[in-house]
Amino acid sequence: MMFIGRPSRLLKTISSSFVVKAIYRTEELQVSRYLMLFYVFDQKGVWMMYPNKIVSKKRLAKSTYEFWIENALVGSHARPGQFVVVRVSEKGERIPLTIAETKGDLFRIVVKAIGKSTYELCTKSVDDILADVVGPLGKPSEIKQYGNVLVIGGGVGIAVILPIAKALKKAGNNITVIIGAKTLDELILKDEFMFADKLVMATDDGSSGYKGTVIDAMKEQIKTQKYDVAWAVGPAIMMKLASNVANEINLPLWVSLNSIMIDGTGMCGGCRTLVKTQESEEIKYVCVDGPEFDGRYVDWDSFMKRLEQYREQERLALENFIKQVGDLSWL
């Protein structure tokens, strides 16, 4: 393989099948799936290989799994708040997933199975290879010394806020973390937030900690503590409600929008979102302008409506997948 000229920034930051992919097929041994290799340039313009191999998998809660994936490019470049776009299999859809942590050549994702592609990913095992990984993508979180910071995570959003909260703590902030789920069993990664100055665990059923939603806990918290900035990541409805509370007390609050994405690079328009202030109304692309926005200005009604637009196709895709692979209620 030959390449003339210095590699562009895009080539350095994107590893995917449409950049450069070498597939070695050893038909007799039927091992082509395991020999799917990805090459991009490193900082010095040297060809690098990114195998996208799953090196560990752990069940964190029902239908929620943590994976460590081998990809030195993502491992070495990712910053808090960024995400990857993953294609699980050759014919699969591209799905965005937040980079929860990095370690050397590895990066960590936490996935909740809610539809065809996330179910397919959660059925993968150690040593399986993902068809491709694009990233790190999106703007990193704005980490600096603010003072008092409130960080809220709901459901799988807890994995998204983990690297952000850690980086904010490292930057010298006083951190209050609120994490919440329906029950204690679904409250993932709770042991990893012990660095927080204050940790509130909320469960809807009261099976552990504060009884109520993260929004109830947020309302309690702001009665006694003044915050300079906040983050809230979780289901769209949770982020909308947190934004409403923040609006009432004029608190800047970053949310990470989980919009539908296709290319993840600003070209398809799939993730477009309306952001409104008193002065302006702007269309933003979550993949390149975000994924974080000040939730007080997101047009939540149109955002949530867009999430619904392929509901029927999504339902059919999952139904067909389950027909092929069998019952997945054990996941």
- Does 261 bind ligand FES (CB under 6 A)? Our answer is yes
- Does 268 bind ligand FES (CB under 6 A)? Our answer is yes
Q: Quick one: 113 or 222, whose CB is closer to ligand FAD?
A: 113
3-class DSSP state of 90? coil
Residue 272 Cβ vs ligand FES, minimum distance, rounded to whole Å: 7
| Other CB atoms within 10 A of residue 108 CB | 21
Residue 309 Cβ vs ligand FAD, minimum distance, rounded to whole Å: 9
Q: How far is CA 98 from the centre of its chain?
A: 2
Per DSSP bridges, beta strands 253-256 and 229-233 are parallel
What token pair was written down for 52? 């996208």
Nearest of 191, 186, 152 to residue 168 by alpha carbon: 152
The DSSP code sequence of 115-131 is SHHHHHHHT--TT-B-S
- Does 147 bind ligand FES (CB under 6 A)? Our answer is no
> What would the x/- binding string for ligand FAD be over residues 7 to 46, using CB under 6 A?
----------------------------------------
**Residue from the set 153, 163, 264, 295 that interacts with ligand FES by CB under 6 A:** 264
Q: How far is CA 259 from the centre of its chain?
A: 11
Contacted entry of ligand FAD, ligand FES, none for residue 75, CB cut-off 5 to 8 Å set by kind: none
What token pair was written down for 112? 């909740």
**Residue from the set 216, 220, 263, 299 that interacts with ligand FES by CB under 6 A:** 263
What is d(CA 124, CA 33) in angstroms, rounded to the nearest whole number? 13
- Does 307 bind ligand FES (CB under 6 A)? Our answer is no
Backbone torsion region of residue 94, taken as left when φ is above 0, otherwise alpha when ψ lies between -120 and 50, otherwise beta: beta
**Residue from the set 227, 285, 300, 303 that interacts with ligand FES by CB under 6 A:** 285
**Residue from the set 41, 50, 83, 254 that interacts with ligand FAD by CB under 6 A:** 83
Contacted entry of ligand FES, ligand FAD, none for residue 48, CB cut-off 5 to 8 Å set by kind: none
> What would the x/- binding string for ligand FAD be over residues 95 to 124, using CB under 6 A?
xxxx----------xxxx-xxxxx------
- Does 307 bind ligand FAD (CB under 6 A)? Our answer is yes
Nearest of 25, 75, 51, 58 to residue 126 by alpha carbon: 58
The DSSP code sequence of 275-315 is EE-SS-EEEEEHHHH-SEEEGGGB-HHHHHHHHTTTHHHHH
What token pair was written down for 213? 């939603």
Q: CB under 8 Å to 98, separation ≥6 — which residues?
A: 81, 82, 83, 109, 110, 159, 160, 256
> What would the x/- binding string for ligand FAD be over residues 238 to 277, using CB under 6 A?
--------------------xx-x----------------
Report the length, in residues, of the chain. 331
Residue 163 Cβ vs ligand FAD, minimum distance, rounded to whole Å: 11
Residue 128 Cβ vs ligand FES, minimum distance, rounded to whole Å: 25
Q: Which residue is nearest to ligand FAD (CB)?
A: 115
Q: Are 35 and 24 in contact (CB under 8 A)?
A: yes
Contacted entry of ligand FAD, ligand FES, none for residue 132, CB cut-off 5 to 8 Å set by kind: none
Using CB under 6 A as the binding criterion, the count of chain residues that bind ligand FAD stands at 26
Contacted entry of ligand FES, ligand FAD, none for residue 311, CB cut-off 5 to 8 Å set by kind: ligand FAD
Residues that bind ligand FES (CB under 6 A): 261-264, 266-271, 285-287
Residues that bind ligand FAD (CB under 6 A): 83, 93, 95-98, 109-112, 114-118, 156, 159-160, 258-259, 261, 291, 307, 311, 314, 317
